Structure 1
């Protein structure tokens, strides 16, 4: 399969690794973009009908954009991480949640991974519909006693806090402060005019791994306790999901957009200073979840909101932060090396789960090239 795009001098090995990845999976559409200290050094793509500007379903990758908005509002003094959610959202106190803080939500410690009976497709597509269902739900474990990935709902939870405090949605704040100013091809709500650039996501060639029991914590977190259970391929390929851009699951974009998001956060782009001040970056890259994630089974899964990428990819620094997407997409910033990374694919990876296996070899090659 032919690889298109370019790499900076010294990053030829990254192109070779990317070529090997796509050659091993005929028909795969994929993109890889890397920035080093804000400067683009890798911009590659391959696959039928794929260009560098093609837009893919990125699922949970959009959580990173939502968390960046929250970090900016904390930095501005608008949000308080340790304020009780119910202080601004009184309905949330139901079911023993009166002491849950914004920090608890971001650290996936609230125990509010779903609702009894699951969500409808219309609810999953719209954060505004998820919020009241979640406010009324009793947690699945005592808040603060453990943590587990709030896969489909964390965006709606923190988004409702943002809405109650600012009167605006996370999607609107992201568009105004991040996406539009930097021209990012990463959307929390895809405009109709850009639909022609969207390439539908496809199921894994191996059929994916077996589904967990619907009434397990994993099944509840991924809405398999609903009737019918959520089909992730069908979900992303639904126009309403792309249009509304639920921040937990409905992001659309490309590798360029992902890499630029994290470069803007920590390095700055085109002469602009980084979006995050050092103190804010330090707060959001501290470990907030030790032990095993009750939903994913991963160890030490989260920083504050963002996934702890240094745990998943040991060559990265302990403060590397970002987020994967269910299709196999991966994205992060590694402040120590100055690397901002975005990888996308339009077919679910074998075995399912976020962050396809090939990211290990691609990231290792990127770090070698970055020196």
Structure 2
């Protein structure tokens, strides 16, 4: 317990309860380093941070949050007719057809239905840092289930897979397109490939502080290396991947693998999701309502074979309504392994992001406190709309 936790930053009038909830979260966890930012109808209304050494400008390892950025690029390319959801992946990337994958469509790939969660023997750290190397190995891999018959989180590889489709079709990497079309135009402090000059702002991710009881529970619940979960999280490699080491490796941050190598701030991610659905800085929303209706709602019903989560994915994005029922059915976004969570909710007009520096216990994707923080933001946004209606 840290009753003296200090919260910095500001909230817009009407969003005071969000600050109170954030302060309560900070007080409940010793040495919490976190940021919280939110937009409502294109206007930033929450900008908060807490923790020793953490500022609004601190760059944090945000892991799978990068999947949201990568698939925002994919959504734009589909919206523009550059990519077709029901085209076979092998049409764009012929080598992908090996080992019975020739019939897999881009839609199935985005829904995590391809069964291509990892490779025999696992990946090296160098391979995990480089989407091109990942794609080359994955092209020849036999799926771990028959494509289309089930779905499971392609944790370390989905960004390399969809990114290779983008590269084959456009001649540009998903990282390059994100930089040129989304990050730079909006000045987003969120990166798929962190420039060297920004390295001084990076705060290394910290491991969870576990009690002996929690350590025992974690050890008892650890997946077998050859299980679907173990393969998806590269525990079948020698040595198995350690997420703290992975994120704190400069090569990972420099190359920005789209599945797990993103770095940024809550401000940057909240602004990205706001721009996806709202007018921001005088610019029209990046996505049309029709594209949001295609990519956002849950497309995978039933149980995720890797994580056990229910109704987990839209197209590329995690279906947020399944996790946070107070959001609209087409809310879309992505969590990050350290407990981060970011999303766009077209119904409320909210772009939300919560980032953490330290792993918590049992936080696979979005940490538990996101439920209370996101709910407070959405309530305040609804009240603000009601007063201006």
TM-score (norm 2): 0.94
Matched, 1:35 2:39: yes
Matched, 1:351 2:355: no
Deviation at 1:158, TM superposition (A): 0.3
Q: Please state whether the residue corresponding to 2:336 is helix, strand or coil.
A: coil
CA contact (8 A) 1:152 1:249 kept: yes
Matched, 1:119 2:130: no
Give per-residue Cα distances to partners, 1:148-205, cap 9 Å, x unaligned.
Answer: 0000000000000001111110000000000000000110000000000000000111
Distance 1:277 1:16 in 2: 34
CA root-mean-square deviation: 0.9
Deviation at 1:268, TM superposition (A): 2.2
Deviation at 1:307, TM superposition (A): 0.5
Matched, 1:277 2:299: no
- 2:315 is matched with which residue? 304
Superposition pairs of residues 184-333 of structure 1, within 5 angstroms: 184-206=188-210, 209-210=218-219, 211-333=222-344
CA contact (8 A) 2:298 2:322 kept: no
Distance 1:270 1:352 in 2: 34
Distance 1:252 1:304 in 2: 22
- 1:69 is matched with which residue? 73
Distance 1:89 1:367 in 2: 41
Distance 2:167 2:272 in 1: 22
Q: Which structure 1 residue ranges, 5 or more long, are not aligned? A: none
- 1:130 is matched with which residue? 134
CA contact (8 A) 2:297 2:332 kept: no
Deviation at 1:367, TM superposition (A): 1.6
Distance 1:276 1:370 in 2: 21
Distance 1:282 1:15 in 2: 32
Give per-residue Cα distances to partners, 1:117-168, cap 9 Å, x unaligned.
Answer: 0000000000000001100000000000000000000000000000111111
Distance 2:6 2:48 in 1: 10
Give per-residue Cα distances to partners, 1:261-293, cap 9 Å, x unaligned.
Answer: 100000021121100012111111232101000
Give per-residue Cα distances to partners, 1:191-237, cap 9 Å, x unaligned.
Answer: 00000000000011117633211000000000000000000000000
Deviates more, 1:200-209 or 1:35-44: 200-209
CA contact (8 A) 2:37 2:267 kept: yes
Deviation at 1:46, TM superposition (A): 0.6
Q: Please state whether the residue corresponding to 2:18 is helix, strand or coil.
A: helix
Deviation at 1:352, TM superposition (A): 3.0
Deviation at 1:105, TM superposition (A): 0.8
Distance 1:134 1:72 in 2: 25
Distance 1:287 1:28 in 2: 32
- 2:163 is matched with which residue? 159
Q: Please state whether the residue corresponding to 1:42 is helix, strand or coil.
A: strand
CA contact (8 A) 2:297 2:331 kept: no
Distance 1:250 1:112 in 2: 19
- 1:3 is matched with which residue? 7
Distance 2:363 2:47 in 1: 25
Distance 2:298 2:54 in 1: 37
Deviation at 1:88, TM superposition (A): 1.6
